[in-house]
Amino acid sequence: MSKVIDVELRGIIKKFQNNVVVQDFNLQVEQGEFIAFLGPSGCGKTTTLNMIAGFLDPDGGDLLIKGQRMNGVPPYKRELGMVFQTYSLFPHMTVAENIAYGLKLRKVGKQEMQERVKRVLELVKLPNVADRYPKQLSGGQRQRIAIARALVIEPSLLLLDEPLSNLDAKLREELRDELKRLHQEIGVTTIFVTHDQEEALALSDRIVVLNHGFVEQIGTPLEIYNQPASEFVHTFIGKTNRMEGEVIAIDADGIKVRTTGGLLIQAAKQAREFSLQQKVIVFVRPEKIKLSDTGVHTGANQVEGHLQLASFLGSYTECEVVAGKHTLSVKVQMSDKSAEREAGTTVYCNWDAEDVLIMPAERG
């Protein structure tokens, strides 16, 4: 059986005056899928969400929801749910009135309305706040109510516009898990806009990485993390060590690169093809590097250096190691006793060939 497509973007284009803010956006969202639009501010993710919601009209391409073309259909006729960054609860209505508002517009009977409000409040685990006003709730509670208000009308699609950005770190994590649980429970197709790669990785079935209005990559969190389509995707998704260099050998095992800083780096076979003497950029993530005190090889690569700086950050320690002309960032787990090393000591950085990513220096 073929899968049901809930949302389809076909060559969507959006311009503001002469600036193209969304360029040729193509995407099919399956029923029940959780999709994240990830990118820095100004990348076009919110613009695209606003086009799906109906607040903006695309300048080109087609937008389909449940197989129906939606271009030009006003937001109030789209039957979607949306949660905003600023909660956007109506301050002059109680929690129950806020949630019931969408039901009232749909002329749901009074009894059913009360039941559905009650049920959705239980769903978001706030059964006792029905008669309070939004002002009397905490930020996290408000956002739960906003989610409840969006869900109660049983929307065909749930849009989340940076719903966690206004919360402090701890609450954000809590509510992130809550969103995941809700999605597993209800299975509503969800599009989630965020600039936070951790949120996107934790929640999504697939991530769309956007930059300057272009779709850089669409893929599962693992694909995005391990097989980035571009330098942008790789660097945006987490901290990394970046070294420029040149391919000096290619064989069955992989590729050898000499960096401009004089390091020899052994990489496993890459998805891309490279040629000898090609200028490339080498990436190694800080958490893939292990520190050791002796020169015994534990991986395909080993580099000697001085520990320049060590910042203890709780569950891990972030180290800076100066090796030749490069400064490598290394993430040392708490369990590793090397977390206690002092600055200035000689250390060895080890990492596997599989953990090296190579990209061509010039794109295209």
Partner 1 sequence: MKKINVLGLITFFVLILVNLPFLVIVPSSFTAAGYLAFPPEGFSLQWYSMILERPEFIESLWTSLKLAAITAILATFLGTLAAFALSKYKFRGSGVINALMLSPLTVPSLIIGISALLFFTRIGIAGTFTGLLLAHILISIPYVVRLVLTGLSTFDYTLEKAGYMLGAHPLRVFWDITLPLLRPAIVSGMIFSFLTSFDNVTVSLFLVAPDTTTLPLAIFTYMQETLDPLVASISAVVILLSLVFIVLLEKVYGLERLFGLNSQSH
Which one among 40, 74, 262, 295 touches partner 1, defined by CB under 8 A?
74
CB atoms within 10 A of CB 161: 21
Is 11 among the residues that bind partner 1 (CB under 8 A)?
Answer: no
**Does residue number 237 form part of the binding site for partner 1 (CB under 8 A)?**
no
Q: Which stretch binds partner 1 (CB under 8 A): 50-58, 266-274, 275-283, 299-307?
A: 50-58
Which range, of 65-73, 82-90, 286-294, 297-305, touches partner 1 by CB under 8 A?
A: 82-90
- Which one, of 184, 228, 177, lies nearest residue 205 by Cα? 184
Q: Which one of residues 45, 116, 142, 149 is an interface residue with partner 1 (CB under 8 A)?
A: 149
Determine contact, residues 38/209, Cβ cutoff 8 Å: yes
Among 75, 139, 324, 360, binds partner 1 (CB under 8 A): 75
The DSSP bridge pattern shows strands 241-250 and 279-284 to be antiparallel
106-125 residues near partner 1, rule: CB under 8 A? 106
**Residue 86 touching partner 1 (CB under 8 A):** yes
The 3-state DSSP class for residue 149 equals helix
Binds partner 1 (CB under 8 A): choice among 58, 81, 228, 254: 81
235: contact with partner 1 by CB under 8 A: no
CA 183 – CA 177 distance, rounded (Å): 10
For residue 270, the minimal CB distance to partner 1 (Å) is 45
For the chain, list the strands marked E by DSSP: 5-16, 19-30, 34-38, 60-65, 68-69, 81-83, 158-161, 190-194, 206-211, 214-219, 241-250, 254-259, 264-268, 279-284, 290-292, 301-312, 316-323, 326-333, 346-351, 356-360
Q: How far is the CB of 49 from partner 1 (least distance, A)?
A: 11
| Secondary element (H or E) of residue 120 | helix 110-123
- The reply on whether position 16 binds partner 1 by CB under 8 A is no
Q: Is 163 a binder of partner 1 (CB under 8 A)? A: no
Q: Determine the residue type at 274.
A: F
Tell me, by CB under 8 A, how many residues bind partner 1: 28
Residues near partner 1 (CB under 8 A) are 53-55, 74-82, 84, 86, 88-92, 101-102, 105-106, 146, 149-150, 153, 159
